[in-house]
Chains A and B, each alone.
Chain A
Amino acid sequence: MRSEMEPLLLAWSYFRRRKFQLCADLCTQMLEKSPYDQEPDPELPVSQAAWILKARALTEMVYVDEIDVDQEGIAEMMLDENAIAQVPRPGTSLKLPGTNQTGGPSPAIRPITQAGRPITGFLRPGTQSGRPGTMEQAIRTPRTAYTARPITSSSGRFVRLGTASMLTSPDGPFINLSRLNLTKYAQKPKLAKALFEYIFHHENDVKTIHLGDVALHLGIDIMVLRNRNHIESKALDLAALSTEHSQYKDWWWKVQIGKCYYRLGMYREAEKQFKSALKQQEMVDTFLYLAKVYISLDQPVTALNLFKQGLDKFPGEVTLLCGIARIYEEMNNISSAAEYYREVLKQDNTHVEAIACIGSNHFYSDQPEIALRFYRRLLQMGVYNCQLFNNLGLCCFYAQQYDMTLTSFERALALAENEEEAADIWYNLGHVAVGIGDMNLAHQCFRLTLVNNNHHAEAYNNLAVLEMRKGHVEQARALLQTASSLAPHMYEPHFNFATVSDKIGDLQRSYVAAQKSEAAFPDHVDTQHLIKQLKQHFAML
């Protein structure tokens, strides 16, 4: 017979090796043996240890760094009353990125997102927090920026996670929250911290489900928020009691209270807690949380100042530098962003986000050779996915290293995980085909893009241009109309439609389209010419 290992030690070992499911299962078995698993009995330290360990394992399974999470639902975006100024001055708001005065690439070279920002080199959960102007825009998935956040949004993601974690535990939840005597736990600081993290990260998800499903069907996020409040108020209660127990001297609990307030959308209260925590103990995390609050309040300048204060205390801290760079990027100040990303790389030369952003910046400022070096660096570091190979392929092509181009794209296609990714790669391959003058191949590539992703507005536009070269005016017009209705924020389809209409003598439509193009990209010279020409025509009539 095999000698058995002490189960708690084994569970602890599983936990350290990050085999959380095994750890949780083992703890469950141990807790089944001891009679009282709902509340750990102080007389039985082993079962108490198993209880904490299980709570921590379950938390770790769904743990996502709270600083990175920025899940904004439609409701929060559209019914946002937290922004201080409704009509902010330029350069003080994330809502109006403003035109690019700093000499970054224009939309003629660098594609833009629906929110009017140049596309970024790196996707985080909070990327594209630029708020859409209308409900219509909010509901339509912005395909072009290929956002991190599908528009069903926060509720969707958390609800589904919650459903799963509930389904996987057939005996019901591990801790029955409504039966917890929080005051008792608050007196045991170590237990309370584990319990809090469990409620905050794990249980939050589980409970959202009931109302969450209904809300999803109705398409309303607010109900989810309400329901979530219920759970978070539980977490909040515990945090409040604990901080009371520690006589308001524990900064950790203050930060946790702040996190709860933040999730509840009570930003001013969150700010107070974080500030008070900072007074007690200055921590990088707290700076980051506080900055997140300011970004939610649409006060990027305050957030920037805060980051700079943080940098005084923690010189060269990468996360703070990176935070500054992100804000500059969101405010459409690409050159400052690049400067700070460089600063990040000086401190940490394996920072993927910084490398990717600088790389894409170089690519769009007409330096594909340098971009290629940055992406090659990422490859050396072990990043291995379809996005990277796609970027490498593009850089190779524009840096005239043709031998590597097609093999990179082949690999990218092989690594593509879903149809949207494959569509984007075919789209870029289409550009390579256009570049070498193989119009048939280009045509096929753009067709394949549309097969993979029927909402790919850029591919529609480019197909239209190819059709026009063949002289198929009607088809081109139809494709352009599709493109412009799919992505009204892009100027290309509008401008092309205006050009085509102008050629066939449909001046009225041409003028309307030209004006849309001007709205999307005011500095476009050709559009201005066209409008001037059309105005002369109209004046002559």
Chain B
Amino acid sequence: MAEVKSMFREVLPKQGQLSVEDITTMVLCKPKLLPLKSLTLEKLEKMQQAAQDTIRQQEMAEKEQQQITH
């Protein structure tokens, strides 16, 4: 280990100025972990979906009925 240390030494300039240009870069929005859904929420959504489907079917049936009568 001692040999390695002697081989690589950090370079610290003793004279002159060290300048770092600070460039403002644009930021990306961060990756999003998606939250898991609770069982209750899933059940609610399922019930809601089922309800909407029933309503849609009902409406379709009504429309067909109307078309037949006309």
Contacts and interface: CB of A to CB of B under 8 A. Distances in A.
A122 B28 contact: no
Contacts of B27: 108, 465, 492, 495-496, 526
A109 interface: yes
Given A148-B41, A462-B29, A164 B51 contact: yes
A160 B51 CA distance: 6
A120 B51 contact: no
Interface in B18-70: 22, 24-38, 40-41, 43-44, 47-48, 50-52, 54-55, 58
Interface string A114-146: 000001111111010000000000000000001
Contacts of A421: 34
B55 A499 contact: no
A428 B34 CA distance: 10
Contact of A161 (B24, B40, B47, B58): B47
A123 B37 contact: yes
A68 interface: yes
A500 B26 CA distance: 8
Contact of B36 (A111, A119, A352, A458): A352
A385 interface: yes
Q: Is the interface of A mostly helix, strand, loop or mixed?
A: helix
A394 interface: yes
Interface in A151-193: 157, 160-161, 163-165, 167-168
A127 B47 CA distance: 19
B29 A167 contact: no
B33 A394 contact: yes
A387 interface: yes
Contacts, number: 135
Contacts of A425: 34
B40 A65 contact: yes
B22 to A, nearest CB: 8
Interface string A405-426: 0000000000000000100110
A78 B52 CA distance: 28
B44 A391 contact: no
Contact of A388 (B36, B50, B51): B36
A307 interface: no
Given A164-B50, A164-B55, A394-B31, A121 B36 contact: yes
B33 A391 contact: yes
A20 interface: no
Contact of B38 (A111, A125, A502): A125
Contact of A167 (B26, B28, B37, B58): B58
B35 A160 contact: no
A353 interface: yes
A164 B47 CA distance: 9
Nearest to A107: B30
B34 A390 contact: yes
A360 B33 contact: yes
Contacts of A119: 32-33, 35
Nearest to B30: A111
Contacts of B28: 431, 434, 461-462, 465, 492
A122 B22 CA distance: 39
Contacts of B22: 529
Contacts of A127: 35
B29 to A, nearest CB: 4
A121 B54 contact: no
A458 B44 contact: no
B45 to A, nearest CB: 9
A394 B44 CA distance: 28
A490 B30 CA distance: 11
Given A111-B29, A428-B31, A492-B28, A124 B47 contact: no
A121 B35 contact: yes
Nearest to B29: A458
6 contacts: A111-B32, A391-B34, A431-B31, A462-B28, A495-B26, A499-B26
Interface of A: 62, 64-65, 68-69, 108-111, 119-125, 127, 146, 148, 157, 160-161, 163-165, 167-168, 352-353, 356, 359-360, 363-364, 378, 383, 385-388, 390-391, 394, 398, 421, 424-425, 427-428, 431, 434, 457-458, 461-462, 464-465, 468, 490, 492, 495-496, 499-500, 502, 526, 529-530
Interface of B: 22, 24-38, 40-41, 43-44, 47-48, 50-52, 54-55, 58
Given A122-B36, A424-B32, A499-B26, 8 more contacts: A108-B30, A125-B38, A157-B48, A163-B54, A164-B55, A363-B33, A364-B33, A431-B28
